Amino acid sequence: MERLIMHVDMDAYFAAVEQAEVPSLKGKPIVVCGFPLARSVVTTASYEARRFGIKSGMPASAARRMAPAAVFIESNPQKYIAISLKIVSILCEFTPKVEPYSIDESFLDLTGCPAVQPHGVAALATTIKKRIRAETGLSCSIGVGPNKLLAKIATEMYKPDGFMLIRLEEVADKVWPLAVEKLHGIGEKTAARLKQDGIGTIGDLAHIPPDVLKRMFGANGYLIWQSSNGIDHSPVDPAMVLSSKSCGHELTLPEDTTDQERIMRCALFLCDAVARRMRHAGYRGRTVTLKLRSADFKTITRSRTRSGFTDNAEEIFADIAAMLRANWLGEPVRLIGVNVSGFSSVKHLERQLGLFPRTMEQDKLVQTVDMLKDKYGDNVIQRASFLQVPSKME
Ligand SMILES: [Mg+2]
């Protein structure tokens, strides 16, 4: 049976959240950046800011030069996660088969879903958009197709506030004219190489025999052939929530430091923030990654995969501290990052609960601290060692 897959993607998400919260920001160029603003990169630019050429990933200082009058806002991940969860819960009203794919994107498997029946999938998309806008003030773009690949390509064709449906028999008309880099898995470098060989569109790729593509791309060749022909069998898997995603925090220090104790304290601070975000979202992860950037911008990342899943700051910090001791050679540190990936959802974990025993007392304590912080703010309870972190960083 042909599947019916919907992709819902929020438009300029972080910037739109800020604009929805402060109406005077609507229609203005908004640039959401990391912390501290002056030394971070752009996380999301509103559509108004994109007109100045501002893109995600560029240094905030460069964005400032391009649009001095734009409003620069420090990103607030907890706020974005909370609204994300609200959006996912809205989507779950239409079908239980919702796979949150990133903080602002979800896939829905609508195959045989009663919500589609009365007026068709385009009408359902309109209903979903209206619901999300009514509850959050935000707009999204929706794509529909027989699989995740085509649904996502459809979404990207009309943004913002767009809707597009691609049927399998429309791949030649709607997908083949697109540039190769629009295909998932084809990066800028590969696209440039392909273009030199006269392969500019997805259609050009689709007409190359699979074994030639295997010679060109190795193991990925067959996958690229399938994708360029609109074929994708990957399931929408609500149990695999954010499995390919991660949760991380980075801190650019107010000044470079060689003080080991201070570095460890910052790392612990970050572990606590990451663990708390994971608990909010209901995720536990297995892979802990340390990022360390020295004053001369040399960056290293080191990862460890734990035997069990965790959302506990002490456990994450134990891995981070070990990696710091093994890899930091005493050079001045500019930035520290802590990231946890390899997620499983709590729901998924509950089914396998026997595999991941935790003590009740530990859980209770963590829940109580979270509750107090939610109610009274982050400063109500702090680890004793945080009290010595310079106020700038809190
Ligand atoms: Mg988006």
Q: Where do we find the tokens 């996660």?
A: 81
Flag the least confident range among 79-83, 327-331, 350-354: 350-354
The Å distance, Cα 178 to ligand 1 centre, comes to 20
The Å distance, Cα 17 to ligand 1 centre, comes to 12
Res 52 pLDDT > 70: yes
- What distance lies between CA 69 and its chain's CA centroid? 28
The Å distance, Cα 23 to ligand 1 centre, comes to 20
Q: 116-121: long-range contacts at Cβ-Cβ below 8 A with a sequence spacing of 24 or more?
A: 116/4, 121/4, 121/6, 121/165
The Å distance, Cα 168 to ligand 1 centre, comes to 24
Q: How large is the average pLDDT for residues 330-352?
A: 74
Res 154 pLDDT > 80: yes
The Å distance, Cα 4 to ligand 1 centre, comes to 21
Q: Over pLDDT 90: what percentage of the chain?
A: 58
* Domains in the chain with CATH codes: 5-9+79-171 (3.30.70.270), 13-77 (3.40.1170.60), 178-228 (1.10.150.20), 241-393 (3.30.1490.100)
The Å distance, Cα 140 to ligand 1 centre, comes to 8
Per DSSP, the residues of 250-277 read EEEEEEEE--HHHHHHHHHHHHHHHHHH
* pTM for the predicted model, two decimal places: 0.63
pLDDT the model gives residue 253? 84
Flag the least confident range among 179-188, 258-267, 298-307, 360-369: 360-369
d(CA 89, CA 79): 16
The Å distance, Cα 103 to ligand 1 centre, comes to 8
What is the Cα gyration radius of the chain?
A: 23
Res 21 pLDDT > 80: yes
pLDDT the model gives residue 90? 84
Which residues have a catalytic role annotated?
A: 105
Per DSSP, the residues of 104-123 read TEEEEE-TT-GGGTTT-HHH
Res 237 pLDDT > 80: no
pLDDT the model gives residue 358? 39
pLDDT the model gives residue 391? 35
The Å distance, Cα 221 to ligand 1 centre, comes to 28
Give the residue from 149, 156, 176 showing the smallest Cα distance to 233: 149
Q: Please name the residues in contact with 294: beta carbons below 8 A apart, sequence gap of 6 or more.
A: 256, 331, 332, 333, 334
How many Cβ atoms sit within 10 Å of the Cβ of residue 24? Answer: 8
The Å distance, Cα 33 to ligand 1 centre, comes to 16
Q: Over pLDDT 70: what percentage of the chain?
A: 85
pLDDT the model gives residue 118? 81
The Å distance, Cα 90 to ligand 1 centre, comes to 17
| pLDDT tens-place string over residues 61-109 | 999 999 999 999 998 877 887 788 778 878 877 887 888 777 788 999 9
Most confident range (mean pLDDT) of 39-48, 144-153, 305-314 is 144-153
Look at 34 and 73; give whichever has higher pLDDT.
73
pLDDT the model gives residue 390? 40
The Å distance, Cα 155 to ligand 1 centre, comes to 10
Res 375 pLDDT > 60: no
Whether the CB-CB separation of 326 and 348 falls below 8 Å is answered with: no
pLDDT the model gives residue 345? 58
pLDDT the model gives residue 377? 57
Give the residue from 174, 177, 178 showing the smallest Cα distance to 164: 174
Q: Which residues pair with 252 in a beta bridge?
A: 335
Instruction: Look at strands 163-165 and 246-257 and give their pairing.
Output: unpaired
Q: What's the token pair of residue 67?
A: 């649009």
The Å distance, Cα 11 to ligand 1 centre, comes to 5
Mean pLDDT taken over the chain: 85
- What distance lies between CA 72 and its chain's CA centroid? 21
Largest Cα–Cα separation, the chain = 66
Q: Please name the residues in contact with 303: beta carbons below 8 A apart, sequence gap of 6 or more.
A: 287, 288, 289, 290
| The total number of residues written for the chain in this structure | 394
pLDDT the model gives residue 241? 45
The Å distance, Cα 85 to ligand 1 centre, comes to 15
d(CA 142, CA 154): 8
| pLDDT tens-place string over residues 193-212 | 899 999 999 999 999 999 99
Q: How large is the average pLDDT for residues 21-39?
A: 90
For residue 193, the one-letter residue type is R
Res 243 pLDDT > 70: no
| SS3 per residue for 50-69 | HCCCCCCCCEHHHHHHHCCC
Beta strands in the chain (DSSP E): 5-10, 30-33, 42-45, 71-74, 98-102, 105-109, 140-145, 163-165, 246-257, 283-294, 299-310, 333-341, 344-345
Give the residue from 117, 348, 119 showing the smallest Cα distance to 241: 348
Whether the CB-CB separation of 381 and 373 falls below 8 Å is answered with: yes
Look at 360 and 319; give whichever has higher pLDDT.
319
Flag the least confident range among 181-195, 277-291, 350-364: 350-364
User: C-alpha distances in angstroms, 115 versus 85, 91, 109, 125?
Assistant: 21, 11, 11, 10
Rounded to 5 degrees, what are φ and ψ at 157?
-75, -35
Q: Where do we find the tokens 């994450």?
A: 316
